[in-house]
Amino acid sequence: MTDLPKPIFQLFGGLWLEDPRNYLNEQAISGLDGLTPLFREIEQRWMQRKHTPCSPEADTWNLQNAFETFTRKETEEWKKYGVTRPHHFLVPPGGQEDADIASHTHNPTWHCSDPLKPVMIDTSNPTINQITQVGFTSDNCFFFDHIARRGETPDCIKFYPDSVREIHEDYMLEIRRHMKAVIEVCWGAHVRKRMQACLQLVPLHLWGDFKDIELFLELRDEDSGRRLVRFIIFVDHPQKFFKASTLTERGRKWRALHGKRQDLHLTVAAKLGGILIKEAFYELHHHPGEYGRTNAKQTIIKTQLREEALAELKTAVPEVFEESEKRKRKPMISELHEGLTDAPDISLMIEKLSADEYIPIFDDKGQSYRSDIIKANKDLRTVAQAIKNGYLDGSIGLSDINQITEFEYLPKALIEWLQSQNGLKTRGKPIETYHELLTAYQLLRRCGTIEHTGSTLDLALAVAFTYAYNIGRSRKSSVLDLMVLASTPQRQVMTRKCSKCGEHVLDDGFAYYAKNNPKYYVKQTSETGCGNRGCAGRVSLVPFDDKQQFCASLWKNLKDTPGKTEADWAQYIVRTETESKNLPTPIGIRCRRCEKGYQEDPSPRWTIEKIPRYLRPHRWCAICEFPTYWEPKDQRIRAIDTTTIRKTWKMLQDAGCDLRNCPRLPELFFSNQTDKTKIEAFKEAKRSKQHSS
């Protein structure tokens, strides 16, 4: 029987790993060898501090004095914005200042039994309750927040002025410089994002039993050389585990995956810091819903405090709130979103979904289209009703679910519905993060500057119901008979971009095509921009693939057979995908006007000349805010404007020379011969082709 590998490599503290030579390649071993002296040096400092706590070099910094200084700076900074914010909502750190492990959360919230009491380690808060249940307690850990003022996390992120946020982060960094902890557990994506932006961190992938763990080393350059300050472990926020119960098979499977991963990270932190925690807490022992509930009176207080905080923020940064009122909103959409800054009125939303009988039926494909929309609406009603029932009977818990700030922690059924809708994807990619959810909201509402002030759940419901309403509306009746739906599933979804800014927009999940020429996608237009930030005015939502033909949804355009424009010359003069297979793709391009805007052309088009030329695309530049042609960044690539091609094509067409029936002669097409000579040459080539056939 083969013996199991024995732990022989001590990383730090009580964390022992198997022989790295059995798991890592040469390059990784070399990197580890370079870090090992740093591990030994920090352990030596750590042991020295434990045995000589009152050395002459002892830190004289005082936490209470630092908090008082921070409080004064923070409240005075708010006054510069015309608002007085209560100092008693600033919460100082808690726990043991000399602990070896620190717990770093984002901000204190109103969700506790007494939000007027400035206490960090308050187990009536469900987040703190979970952390202490695991085993990180006031006896063995130092607790501090990234933002020290009570509030809703989305409000802190969206509405805090930069100068206020800097004061909070400076205070947080000051705490970190002086705290004794050499292991720091950071909870949630918001903390992770800011820590990676503020600090010099080096990732370290572990191996063996901990092969799925990635530690981060905080390094600091000093006169004596590079120094390891502490080990940082990023873990999921406790709110991720507010929902999944071990009482169901589905919940057990979810816990076996996500809970086990969380437990493994926390085990590493505990071993590094030399403390004991509850084994397999998240996988087996955590029971959501048994703590952290507020009674009716506490809920009223929490709601009132949140409203007061929003009023203060609106006074401080009115422009952020006013942006949401600048754009015109359709009455139906306004009704859908009425009241979304607090608990959503789901009953109202369900009633506002378009009735099935108003969904158009205009051909066989229309029946399928109608069925798809009815199914999407029915599924959404089911999901929304379940969430509503959860609010009413407490099985989900409004107080818990309203704290959710990250997309992946929303109710699974709602996530699955959002991710199943083709029209809520971008280039086929479903929504997976809060940022992508907010982007979808802005693209649906055509409001790139608007900020959503409700919870993540409210935002997800707003996206879902807006989309359901949009797909239930038919195109204009005057052109409906001139359009058809996709003939194949592959063509049902159209990836799109904005004609003005060139940025991605949501895919069209129910693509229409011109009835007279189904090769032509019928584009949509918007009078208020595409929804991307900074894009305004009339725009078209056109296919992302420049090779896909399209036309406007106008009666005249659709009644006449589309195709008498760019597509004709493109088929003649532009290389096919097969003809372009050995040419570079994608192409980096820059704005020809300002030379500062840079983009990437994923589907470059080339002429059929022996030495092909790149067709410069005409796009909107976000830098100079002007539509213009874009040049290849690589100056060795020859390029040409499409206007040059169109001019020659029109000249030949007007002279009665239809090149669609002529051989492809790019050298003649682009030659410097006179128009008359060129016309005669093409006509002769056409006669020769007809004669030979």
Whether pLDDT at 244 is above 70: no
The pLDDT mean for the chain works out to 82
Q: Which stretch of 5-19, 124-138, 220-234, 528-542 has the lowest confidence by average pLDDT?
A: 528-542
User: Which pLDDT score is estimated for 107?
Assistant: 96
Q: Tell me the CB-side half-sphere exposure of residue 396, using CA atoms within 13 A.
A: 21
Extents of the domains making up the chain? 9-51, 63-296, 317-472, 564-693
**Range of weakest confidence among 196-205, 416-425, 472-481, 613-622:** 472-481
Q: Among 237-241, 267-271, 357-361, name the one with the lowest average pLDDT.
A: 357-361
Report how far residue 370's alpha carbon sits from residue 472's, in angstroms, rounded to the nearest whole number: 9
Which whole number is the average pLDDT over 210-232?
91
Per-residue model confidence (pLDDT) at position 361: 46
d(CA 477, CA 587): 41
pLDDT one-digit tens code per residue, 254-276: 788 888 999 999 999 999 999 99
> Is pLDDT above 70 for 39?
yes
122, pLDDT greater than 90: yes
451 pLDDT above the threshold of 50 = yes
Q: Give all strands of the β-sheet with 101-105 in edge-to-edge order.
A: 94-95, 141-145, 101-105, 183-187, 225-235, 214-222, 201-205
What is the spatial distance between Cα 526 and Cα 534, in angstroms, rounded to a whole number? Answer: 14
Report DSSP state, residue 356.
G
Question: Which residue type does 19 have?
Answer: D
The domain over range 63-296 is classified in CATH as 3.30.1280.10:
no
Residue 81: other Cβ atoms inside 10 A: 16
Rounded to a whole number, what is the distance in angstroms from the first to the last CA of the chain? 80
Between 468 and 44, where is the model more confident? 44
For residues 615 and 332, the model is more confident at 615
Q: Is the pLDDT of residue 52 over 80?
A: no
Q: Confidence band (pLDDT; 50, 70, 90) for 687?
A: confident
User: What would the pLDDT profile of 524-560 be if each residue is shown by its tens digit?
Assistant: 888 778 888 878 777 889 898 877 888 888 776 677 6
What pLDDT, on the 0 to 100 scale, is given for residue 510? 84
243-257 per-residue burial string, b: 16 or more CB within 10 A, e: under 16: bbbbeeeebbebbee
The tens digit of pLDDT for each residue in 384-410 reads 777 666 543 344 444 455 556 677 777
Residue 237: pLDDT above 50?
yes
**Is pLDDT of 578 > 50?**
yes
Q: Work out the pLDDT band at 348, boundaries 50, 70, 90.
A: low
Q: Is the pTM of this model over 0.75?
A: no
Q: What is Dmax (Cα atoms) for the chain? A: 104
The 8-class DSSP code of residue 683 comes to H
Mean pLDDT to the nearest integer, 470-479: 66
**Coil, helix or strand for 429?**
strand
β-strand partners of 639: 614
Name the pLDDT band for 367 (thresholds 50, 70, 90): low
Mean pLDDT of 112-124: 92
